[in-house]
Structure 1
């Protein structure tokens, strides 16, 4: 095979790598796919219990607000902040957690940091007049930033924490939503914004005998410092005499395992699929650099980062990190943007060879760090770069050089085989442990609306999931015909990116603009026409990227539904930069028409 630009000759055999990738994928595929996981509900509901904030009893609420925001993560917070700036005073935030922060409220495990540069990840930095302490900020700093946003924009004024919405029903006479909750509330709101479902609901591996284990267990997103002692910076002295098992080696495992390795008497790491682990290079923020930042610096940096990952031409890479250095390898999966100057076959050939080269580099790093050859071999990832979310750490691989750390490869058994009263079993081997920690991730992108746990009844009592029986139907991913004044934040029929907070920020600004226009016009209902909705659904079908062939070759993971996902994506194929341009153009050209339409028909088309 001829070497592409950048290679004088190939330092690897592409055919051998393809075969190796297929063999490693096949070792891990399970017939039960995503159903191998258990929801933290029912008999396992205690895994979702809030260990951080005591639940306060209160009387049911039956009142009225103009805007109800369901979800107090960054999506909900930024939307609420922009609505405050637009003059909305009557607003309530609701969340199942005991405070704001979303995933950063729940995830407080040792070693937690963001894996996107904090200067582009943490929203509203300029508005709050702050700069993160590190390039990749620790989780507690990010959580405190969420609290600071809520305080700065007076969002604690009327909140409902430890509260889950259980039903939404449109009142056609009053033109408002009636929202019922698990606290007996019957709240009314003119507008409802759903911003929940991303990395908050823990999932558990469906291991036979998990309920029989007599030791201590918890999920990383509900860390039990009462058992381990210490805090998010480590010092887990409670584990000094404990044999600990940790299940999961994804993004969470990369951060928590080094701390467990330092503090536990014995650590067993149960791995089904190794992560790709590149250099993180975290460091404190340079105060001289921060002092020279000019107004607009964060927006510029966010746009620069997203542009590079989307294949846009930029004069300079302002971030220069592991994400921007591998942008070419990400575009097909994340942004959908590709190099159209090449024929598809040649483009795919070059992309694959560049991918092979990067993954060879990552595997070589494992050999250079891990001293035991057998452990190093098991830690090497054999798949395309974007088959799993890339990982970054300067401590994870090093942890396996400790004599008290044992890597247990479960691939040939599809994961942990079973659990007994005092052990974790893989094949015929039993590993006696005192504690098992599940670093097994979350239900991703599934709000209660999508899952059906929050039923929504629109005009004429039609249920949203019935209206979506043939698939989601929205305009721009935000709202649907027949369900007035209901807005969705997330990755549904719009765009996606590794810096999802940037995506949520753009969505918050768009929703705010639409609501502000409707308020200005005195409209009571904001709802796309059936024609506009249909046109957008057709647009998504036409431009959505078809990555099914790529995903089919991937090792099982949440990107490909544990090996079962097929067909096109549900995202805007040209990518997030193009989608944000489309929204800006729509606001510029259509919002004035919307104002007129609102005055006459009380409908946003």
Structure 2
């Protein structure tokens, strides 16, 4: 049962050769670095729409185009859109319409229903509005179906279904100065004119595909993991018995957080499974436990915010001396181990930031060595075990946990195909794929290749045109870096608001980010409506000031990012001339909670300082 307990440092190897490992990390990074950078992935709209635009969960139903004037359009129905819309309703704004490409609320939890999907950080922190809806996840790492249902419950609780526009993709978003509204056109022929627009598509809204030569040549079955085809595999999201794969040879390309969850199911049911890996993930013990009802009885008002802050302290801030680790898992281990080293110093208070980072780096190397040696204890074949060992710093890639992933490679029908030397699959043929000069015939290829997270902003938003005043494209305006006030509004783009990782304080918990931003955006829109404001946007002075503040207070993490193995965390290592681009945007240096305090003080002043208001 999941309950609160004392949580101390873990036992990690002491016999680590850090200089040798540092060189090994660099070598492994260079093996995987590609000159194309993020351009190694193709856009799903470029002739590959079947991998992204098809909705396997909701049948397409023809409808008449919508022609309407509305107060607020929220673009996206995942956590970002749900929380923005919920706070708008709480602020008294009733005319709110969520426009969502999927057939229901949920975002990543609507689309991703692959076998084994679970929250991969603690549900009690991650799933938002638990106290408000009176809901407690059934276990520490909740199943995707449970989180999806909670998303639907948020929509019901705040009356968001009434104005929702589902199964609709926004094509163009154009500011019309004549009517002071955003003109929204869609793939359904809609003509919607919104006073305010909230961009809430999220970082996991658009699948991406590896640009493997011959991608269109393969004549077998294929799909992206976020569009799982249960008609082909057998089973269902609630009963993932993939019995139709019993006579199939299957390849899965990708071994990140998604692949780690899927592989045990494919290994269990497929006749033959090829797991195609460029870079191994860290895979720690999962030990998922049901929620202890006795612990639930001890929870008082504000418990989730307290827990989220504790989790943030032990992960993003490095450690939280004097506080218990309430989460106590693989995400917080490095912070706990570093804290133990600090407390063992003769005078912990005299430690310099440089000393702290030195201790943390040492503990990082020891933690990663523990994870590598764990692979050896679970995977019988020596060569396979060696290929599954991650050689990079912790948090260079998203940490994973799974109790079945590594043992799956002991099954006789499962083969690891490591493509690190060739930096990926060489090509596809009509009947399979070629890796390391060997052709592997397969019946099905599943792409667990992730989403458009650090690619160009135009690819991430998946909207053809976003044009503000005087026809200025947002994509051009942000081409060389974000230009915002508080990360949520930009000059020249009146009445438009942004959620996500722009120029904001970043929490270790993405839902907490969305909740903070949703609350702030709702306040501004509600005040504008209350005061009879027609348009608002940052003054040039305020925007320039915020950009300067963000850059002057930034914590330079570029050296760490540059040392990391290529992946979406660092824009594939910065190849293709794009440079290192963090998946966190340009974070406000003092941190998430300082940013929250700053916004609260701004709202308390009540004068909408830094915004140019036009009646």
Structure-2-length-normalised TM-score = 0.91
1:408 aligned to 2:417? Answer: yes
State the 1:313 CA deviation.
5.1
Match of 2:299 in 1: 293
Q: Distance in 2 between matches of 1:234 and 1:379?
A: 26
Q: 1:421 to 1:188 in 2, by over 3 A?
A: same
Match of 1:334 in 2: none
1:602 aligned to 2:608? Answer: no
Counterpart pick for 1:11 among 15, 38, 51: 15
The question of whether the paired residues in 2 share the 8 Å contact of 1:135 and 1:282 is answered with yes
Q: Distance in 2 between matches of 1:9 and 1:397?
A: 20
Counterpart pick for 2:254 among 248, 254, 271: 248
1:593 aligned to 2:607? Answer: yes
1:33 aligned to 2:43? Answer: no
User: Aligned-residue CA RMSD in angstroms?
Assistant: 2.5
Structure-1-length-normalised TM-score = 0.92
Greater shift, 35-44 or 106-115, is seen at: 35-44
Q: Distance in 1 between matches of 2:462 and 2:166?
A: 21
The question of whether the paired residues in 1 share the 8 Å contact of 2:31 and 2:420 is answered with yes
Counterpart pick for 1:478 among 488, 502, 506: 488
Q: Deviations over 1:309-336 (max 9, x none)?
A: 24355633222222122247999xxxxx
Q: Distance in 1 between matches of 2:353 and 2:305?
A: 34
Counterpart pick for 1:574 among 590, 596, 604: 590
The 5 Å alignment of 1:541-552 reads 541-552=551-562
Counterpart pick for 2:85 among 67, 80, 105: 80
Q: 1:482 to 1:341 in 2, by over 3 A?
A: farther
Counterpart pick for 1:584 among 588, 600, 609: 600
Q: 1:546 to 1:432 in 2, by over 3 A?
A: same
1:276 aligned to 2:282? Answer: yes
**Structure 2: which 5+ residue stretches go unaligned?**
1-8, 340-347
Counterpart pick for 2:26 among 5, 19, 22: 22
1:419 aligned to 2:428? Answer: yes
Q: Distance in 2 between matches of 1:76 and 1:445?
A: 20
Greater shift, 11-20 or 100-109, is seen at: 11-20
Q: 1:315 to 1:141 in 2, by over 3 A?
A: same
The 5 Å alignment of 1:146-185 reads 146-185=151-190
The question of whether the paired residues in 1 share the 8 Å contact of 2:220 and 2:442 is answered with yes
Q: Secondary structure at the match of 1:437?
A: strand
State the 1:345 CA deviation.
4.5
Q: Distance in 2 between matches of 1:517 and 1:329?
A: 47
Q: 1:452 to 1:315 in 2, by over 3 A?
A: closer
Match of 2:324 in 1: 316
Q: Distance in 1 between matches of 2:338 and 2:562?
A: 17
Q: Distance in 1 between matches of 2:142 and 2:460?
A: 31
State the 1:7 CA deviation.
11
Q: Deviations over 1:406-463 (max 9, x none)?
A: 1111111111111111122112212221111111111116665965734223233333
The question of whether the paired residues in 2 share the 8 Å contact of 1:307 and 1:314 is answered with no
Q: Distance in 2 between matches of 1:30 and 1:328?
A: 35
1:393 aligned to 2:402? Answer: yes
The question of whether the paired residues in 2 share the 8 Å contact of 1:329 and 1:386 is answered with no
The question of whether the paired residues in 2 share the 8 Å contact of 1:445 and 1:490 is answered with no
State the 1:520 CA deviation.
2.7
Q: Secondary structure at the match of 1:200?
A: coil
Match of 1:336 in 2: none
Q: Secondary structure at the match of 1:443?
A: coil
Tell me the number of residue pairs that the alignment of Structure 1 and Structure 2 aligns: 588
The question of whether the paired residues in 2 share the 8 Å contact of 1:418 and 1:426 is answered with yes
The question of whether the paired residues in 2 share the 8 Å contact of 1:197 and 1:443 is answered with no
1:522 aligned to 2:542? Answer: no
Q: Distance in 2 between matches of 1:55 and 1:132?
A: 32
State the 1:370 CA deviation.
1.0
Greater shift, 509-518 or 111-120, is seen at: 509-518
Match of 1:114 in 2: 119
The question of whether the paired residues in 1 share the 8 Å contact of 2:206 and 2:462 is answered with no
State the 1:29 CA deviation.
1.4
Counterpart pick for 1:489 among 494, 499, 507: 499
